[in-house]
Amino acid sequence: MPYFKPKLEFATAEMKGGKGWCVRATPPNGAPVLLGSFKTEEEAREWIKHKSLEWLKEFEGGRHA
């Protein structure tokens, strides 16, 4: 049976006190990482859409170094 590594999940999250938005990156079996500080949820979604892959490459590169 092939082994499939669960992928890291990205989601938008409202910051405490309603002071903007961030991106929550949750690795499998790991603690979530909060990224960025965005004025709107849409800005956070755009970061996920356009920047998350680049961030993931750096994140995984740092973990395996």
Residue 30 and residue 18 in contact, taking contact as beta carbons nearer than 8 Å: no
Is pLDDT of 4 > 80?
A: no
**Domain assignment present for 1:** no
**Domain assignment present for 53:** yes
For 47-60, give one letter per residue: b (16+ CB within 10 A) or e: bbeeebeebeeebe
Query: Range of 47's domain?
Result: 9-63
**More confidently predicted of 36 and 8:** 36
Alpha helices in 1-65 (DSSP H): 41-63
What's the domain count of the chain? 1
Residue listed under structure tokens 């970061």: 47
Convert the pLDDT of each residue in 21-62 to its tens digit.
Answer: 999 999 888 899 999 999 999 999 999 999 999 998 887 775
Residue 36 and residue 47 in contact, taking contact as beta carbons nearer than 8 Å: yes
- For residue 47, the model assigns a pLDDT of 97
